[in-house]
Structure formats: structure tokens, C-alpha cells
Structure 1
Amino acid sequence: MKKRSMRGIFFPWPRSKGGWNMLTRTLSNHILKFCLHLRDRGFLIGPQETMDGIRAVQTIDIFNRDQFQACLRLVLCSRVEEQPIFDHAFKEFFFNIKENRLSEELLHYLSDKENNGRKEKSDQGKPQESKKGIPEKQGTVPSGSPGIQSQGGETAKEERKLSWVASRAAFKQSDEFQAYIPPDELGDMEKAAKMLVRKIALTRAHSWQSAKKGIRLDFRKTMRANLQTGGYPVHLYWKKRKKQGAKFVLLCDASRSMSLYTQRFLQFAYALLKCTKHVEVFLFSTKIKRVTDQLLDKRTDLPALSKLENSWGGGTCIGESIYSFVQDYGPQMLHQDTVVIIASDGLDAGDISRMAWSMGEIQRRTSSVIWLNPLLKIEGYEPTARGMKAALKYIDLFAEASDAHSFLKLAKKIKIRR
């Protein structure tokens, strides 16, 4: 079967709707979990080594199990003494039937291509029998090329198996996976969060405070201060509108398509919580979940999020998740002093019929809506995805942020005064 190229990644099956993309995301999730597995065994592996491992497997034949293991060993082992430990951990993670049954099934799927290749080579040597005069069996397709139909049937079978593996991965992850906040660049992220809070200053329409250079005369204070002069206003006192710090609501897309960026957005949410107490954080994938209390956990230096269920690592239902947020939390959290920040790539695979209404309600009730899309850093990207297109006209600021440097750049550029 001819290999097709997509952004430097070779996939040995024809491109189809969701097929290669689903396997890539599932494989990335397995590499992330495998790196955590190695960290438990004393390996010095951080987010940079994890991303290097994901990039490295894109340069090899991922259907070759030996290449897959050797590639990860080369990237994740920093000393020769760690290589035997790595080989044992690799077998323990991918072949432990009791604890990691899904990992074995994934590797079994990756090795099917080798067996299919051997079978195709053996079949090429056999002469093809003529089908003239042979009655067609029940259930066979009477017309078309037999080779192409057989290939299409095998592809459809592989795609069904691929979908099942990916769905099982998301379901298994909901019980075992924990989301960690990366410690690197945390100082820069806190600096960006402080600058963002300082740049956003909202005023309340009916609240005033005393000021030396105000815009309105404070009659009550002026009369009380000038009682000794018989009520003549010798000394004037002024007041100005009271400024109030904004309240933030963060909606972070934690689906498979955002797996490389979600931890950075969580790091930003954690840094923002350290700067101001008026912050609410939500994660969503196919469902939405509030995680503010877990981020405020003081028992460890950096909290780990657990029991995320359908809010992490699954498909992407942006419209349905935002609609659920507006219905369940809108009356308590959406006010004129609220700034809503949505971090998502806009690749909605669910029902978007309620996206426009939900985004319209958020824009109408709040002070500002900011949408952070990490795909904007890709040259030539246009927000043509149906979910992104439906939400675009309700967004006040559409920007890119995927790391501490980009968040700091965003904080310097943003300025909201209302």
C-alpha cells in the first residue's frame, strides 16, 4: 500500500475522515502517559523531552515496533545505564495485559501492517484465477475491481478498529489520567498574568470613591467639612468612579486536538489564580467540568487535576460545552465586570447549532470575550472551521497564545478600560 505524506508524517493507509488524525492523537496520549511512567522510575523527563519524543516518532515508521522502541529509547534515555530500565519499562507499559490492555492492543494494531505486508508479498507470487464461468457467492459485490474492493474492505475494517481503539483510550484515560502543570517557565507565566490583571481595569457605573482629582463634586463631604465657615464651600472635595478588578472565567479546550497546548493554558490559569482570587476555570472536551477548586489545592507545590472524566482527552464538542456552561453557570458568573477567556482551536466535531446563541449570551452579559487559538501561529491559517466561524463575530479579541512568551506578548498588547 502506498504511503501518503501529511506534514512530514507518513501513514500507510489512505487518508480518510478522522482515521490518521485519530491514531496520531491516541499515540501522542500514549507517549505522554509512557513518559509519566518513566518519571516514576527515576528518569529525568520533562515537557521538552516529551515533545521531543512525539516529534521523533514522526520521522520513523511507527508501524515498525523495533523502530518505535529504539526511537523513544534514543530520546528519553540520558545515560547508558538507563537503557535496560527503559526496555523493561517499555514492555511493562505496552505489554502488561492486566493494567495496560489498551496499550498492547494499540501496538498490536501497529504491527498488523507488517503482517499484511508479508501476506501481500506472498499473494503476489500466486497466479490469479480467472473468474469467468464461476458463479458469484452470496454477499460478494458483483461489479468493480476485486483488488480495489478488497483493499477498501480492509481499510474500512482498520478504520473501525482504529475508532474503537481511540474511543477506548479516551474512556480509560478518564479514570487514570492526571493533568499536571509544567513547572518550567512558571515565573514568566506569573509575570504575564500580573500584567494582564493590571491592564484590565473595569469601572462600576454606580460606585464612586473620594479622590483629589475627581470628576464629580462630593456635596456631602464638602458640606460637612465647611460647617465651621457657615456652609460656605471654602474647601471642595471631589470623587471619581470606583475601579474594580475584573473577574475572569477561563474555558480551556482539553480535547485530543489541543493535547500539546492544554497544560500551558492550565499553567496560565494557575498563575492567574495566584494574582487574583476572582478566577473560575473550566475544562471541556465532550463535557465541561469546573476545576477551580483543584487548582487551589495547597497540599502540593503544583496541583494535579484528577477525575476529569469526559472533560479531558476525548472528542471536541465546543458548542455543546459552552451552551452547558451558560445554562449551568451563566447566572452566577457572567456579569458586566467579567472577562471570559476561551482557549481552543475551534475544531468542533459536535453540534454547533447552539454555538451562536451561547457566544451571543456571553458577549451580551460580560465585559469582553477573548479567544486564544494556538493555530494562529501557523502561517497561512484561516479560521474556516465551522465552530470557529460561528463564534468569530462574538469575539472582542482573537489572538494566539501557546507558551509563556506568547502569553507575555499578549499581556503587553491587551488593554481593556471600561
Structure 2
Amino acid sequence: MTDPAPYRDRLALNLMHFARALRAAGLPVGPGKVLQALEAVEAVGPGNRTDFYWALHAVLVSRREHSELFDQAFHIFWRNPDILKKMMAMMLPTVRTDPAPDKPEMAQRLAEALHGTAPQVEGKDKTEIEIDATFTMSAAERLQAKDFESMTNEEMAQAKKLLATLALPLAEVTTRRHRPDPQGPRIDPRATLRRMLRSGGDLVDPARKRQRTRPPPLVVLCDISGSMTRYSRMILHFMHAITNDRDRVHSFVFGTRLTNITRHLRHKDVDVALDAVSTAVADWSGGTRIGTALRAFNHQWARRVLGQGAIILLITDGLDRDAGEGLAAEAERLHKSCRRLVWLNPLLRWDGFAPKSSGIRALLPHVDDFRATHNLNSLAGLADALSRQGPRRQPGLRRWVKEAAG
């Protein structure tokens, strides 16, 4: 009888290489999970590819947004057509580097994880090349302008660091409360009486006051459906940064339902915060029911978080599974409840974008600003726009509304 130990060692070696590739691609896979994966595969047996897939998935995937990356990595790594026969002998193929997955943006990340960085060959006749960079963009400028969807792992890590430092200053609004000010436009009767009492009732100069100003509350509604997957994970880092940068920020995510993640994003550590969000949210990368989500917000949360002239950031591509049913009425109610409703749509980055979807046509008449959100520059532009005083409605928005109506 053949000793099974060498075959088990071969299986463990291949699982270790697979886990290393997943870790390089961004999944939190450690040595402990490799041992658990080995035990899971031995428990289900190697006779069925589907069982083998889901045994590894159950152990190595801890977040819903990692499922798609795991799926593509699995089919690249274990793509030998005689996989079942070789699994029976525990002789699994090693990493294959020639195929590429169907989706180019995911392929770039997997290529880095599976292939690694090609070593530089040093030769005796090394040629030095001088490049005139007078009119070229710096690496930082390229990163600022690069679409989140096409970023590599290293670029995404750099972008997340930049997002952590991004502030979102809002133009301050006047409140009903007052503060002492010697040059204030109004007399403060109470403070004036206190002065008179301290001086024994003699006449004194009246105390003056003016109204306080402070940034308005900020409410973020972010779409986490399948069509927004590659953008929502970066937007969550942006939401974490602004939540920890200022007070009165309320964050919600929605796919087929609405979830309040404000408390989870208050963790200072972004990894802890996003782990808590992943646990709390049950509808990652599914369908989108924008009207249902806005109805839930209007009925359950609007009166709690939209006081004192709140500004709302609605982050969605407008692709609604319910074909915009009831969306216009809920968007109108939401618009009337806030100071300003800003719609951030990653589809707007395309030059040929047209508001043809029923969900987009229903939303456009009820927003004050319509902006793209697909790279760091777009988020920096949003911060600049919200920090300036100006008209409530974006000047160029009327063209989009007419096009949607036509």
C-alpha cells in the first residue's frame, strides 16, 4: 500500500501556494487558515470539484466582497482539465501563469498575486536610457487620475492611504444659537444684566452676541450592489476617513435593504471598522432596490439625522432592479428634507454617458448636484465643491434633467 504522507504533503504545499496567492491579492489568509483548509479538503474528499471549491471557500473567504476574487483565483490556480484524477492521487498542479480571467480589472490584481514581480536581469552591457519627463505626469498624479476599477493591489493600497488623509470640509451654516461677540449685531440682555449686577447696578456698555456657525450634518447613502462592488470598497475607506475626521456624520449602505453602519465606522482602525461592517451587512454584491432603501431611510431615519440642514451624499450608479418603481416619490421626499442632495455616480466618468435607465431618470430631477466618483481626483473635487458657498443646485444639472425627461 502506498504511503499517503507524500501525497498529503503535496496537497499541503499546493494549498500553501494558493493561500499565498490569495493573500497577495488582498485576502486576509494566514497560516492558520491554510491548516483549516487542508482539514476541510480531507474531510469532504477530493472526488468532487464542487465540494473541493466550497470547502476552500468556507475557510478562506471571510468577507462577501472577496468571493469574486476567490472564484477567479480558484479557476486560474486549479484549471487543469484532469483535476479530479490528479486530486485522487493528491498530485495537484502548481501555479499556472499563462491564462487570464475574463475581467481585465480583476486579472491585473490576480496577475500580480500569481505571477509576482518579474526579476530584473542585470547584464554587462546595460544601456542607460534618459527620459525627458518635462511634460509627463508624476506617479502621484497618475494615481490621482486612475480609475478605482483598474488599480493594481499596490495602487489600491496607496489610494487607501491617501483616502485616510482626505478631509471633507463643509461650508458652515448659521444656527439658532448665539455666542458672545463684542462686535455682534444683537444685544444680549442676560449678559448685560449680569454685568450691571457685578457693577452694583450702574449702567454699563451692553453685551453683544452673534449667531453661531458650524458645519451641517453629513449623511452618506452608499450602494453596495454587484454593479458597484469595485467602487464601494474604496468609498467605504472614504466614509471611514470622513467619519473619523468630523462629528455628525451618519453612514448607510444599501443593496436590497438599508443598513446603518455609522457606529461601525467610528472605530479608529479601518480594518476593524470594515470587518464590523462586513459582519453587519447581509446584502453585499447583490441586486439594487434604490426606492425601497430610500423609503426605509425616509420613514425610519430621516427625522433623526436630517436636522439642522444636513447634506446628503447619494452614491449609486442608479441601476435599479425594480425599474425605478416608487423611486421618484421617495427621492422627492428626501430632497425636500435636506439642505442639499449630491448624487455621486461612477458611470458619469464615461464620455458617452446618457441617462437612459429608469432609475437614473427618476432620480435626476430631485438632486442638486450630479458628479462622477471613480478616482481620487473626483473625491477631491467633491471636497472642494462642498467647502464653497454657492447656489444649491449645480448650474449644469438642468441639461441632465432635460435629457432624462426627453
Q: TM-score, normalised by structure 2?
A: 0.57
Question: What root-mean-square deviation, in Å, do the aligned CA atoms of Structure 1 and Structure 2 show?
Answer: 3.9
Structure 1 pair 406/278, CA: closer, same or farther in 2 (3 Å)? same
CA distance in 2, matches of 1:211, 1:321: 45
CA distance in 2, matches of 1:191, 1:298: 13
Q: Is 2:224 the counterpart of 1:254?
A: yes
CA distance in 2, matches of 1:183, 1:74: 16
Q: Is 2:46 the counterpart of 1:35?
A: no
What's the offset of the Cα at 1:250? 0.8
Give the AA of the match of 1:201: E
CA distance in 2, matches of 1:371, 1:247: 17
What's the offset of the Cα at 1:223? 4.4
* Contact 1:336/1:365, CA 8 A, preserved across alignment: no
Q: 1:340 aligns with which of 312, 326, 341?
A: 312
Q: 1:373 aligns with which of 341, 345, 352?
A: 345
Structure 1 pair 269/309, CA: closer, same or farther in 2 (3 Å)? closer
Give the AA of the match of 2:174: T
CA distance in 2, matches of 1:388, 1:335: 27
Q: Output aligned runs, 1:13-412, within 5 Å.
A: 35-37=25-27, 40=30, 67-68=99-100, 74-76=111-113, 77-78=115-116, 183-193=157-167, 196-197=168-169, 199-204=170-175, 206-226=176-196, 228=199, 232=203, 235-297=205-267, 302-303=272-273, 304=275, 305-412=277-384
Give secondary structure in 2 for the equivalent of 1:260.
Answer: helix
Which structure 1 segments of 5+ residues have no match?
A: 1-30, 43-49, 58-62, 82-181
Structure 1 pair 38/185, CA: closer, same or farther in 2 (3 Å)? closer
CA distance in 2, matches of 1:323, 1:411: 28
CA distance in 1, matches of 2:80, 2:259: 38
Q: What's the counterpart of residue 146 of structure 2?
A: none
* Contact 2:182/2:208, CA 8 A, preserved across alignment: yes
What's the offset of the Cα at 1:262? 0.4
Structure 1 pair 211/365, CA: closer, same or farther in 2 (3 Å)? same
CA distance in 2, matches of 1:285, 1:33: 27
Give secondary structure in 1 for the equivalent of 2:354.
Answer: coil
Q: What's the counterpart of residue 94 of structure 2?
A: none
Q: What's the counterpart of residue 16 of structure 1?
A: none
Which stretches of structure 1, 4 residues or more, deviate above 6 A after TM superposition? 31-34, 63-66, 69-73
Residue deviations 1:284-304 (CA, integer Å, cap 9, x gap): 111111122222235775532
Q: Relative contact order, CA 8 A, sep 6+: which one is greater?
A: 1
Give secondary structure in 2 for the equivalent of 1:273.
Answer: helix
What's the offset of the Cα at 1:356? 1.9
Q: TM-score, normalised by structure 1?
A: 0.55
Structure 1 pair 282/74, CA: closer, same or farther in 2 (3 Å)? closer
Which structure 2 segments of 5+ residues have no match?
A: 1-20, 34-65, 74-78, 82-97, 120-155, 393-406
Specify which structure has the higher proportion of strand. 1
CA distance in 1, matches of 2:370, 2:302: 22
Structure 1 pair 410/74, CA: closer, same or farther in 2 (3 Å)? closer
Give the AA of the match of 1:35: A
Residue deviations 1:76-128 (CA, integer Å, cap 9, x gap): 321589xxxxxxxxxxxxxxxxxxxxxxxxxxxxxxxxxxxxxxxxxxxxxxx
Q: What's the counterpart of residue 41 of structure 2?
A: none
What's the offset of the Cα at 1:314? 0.4
Q: What is the aligned-residue identity percentage?
A: 25
What's the offset of the Cα at 1:217? 2.2
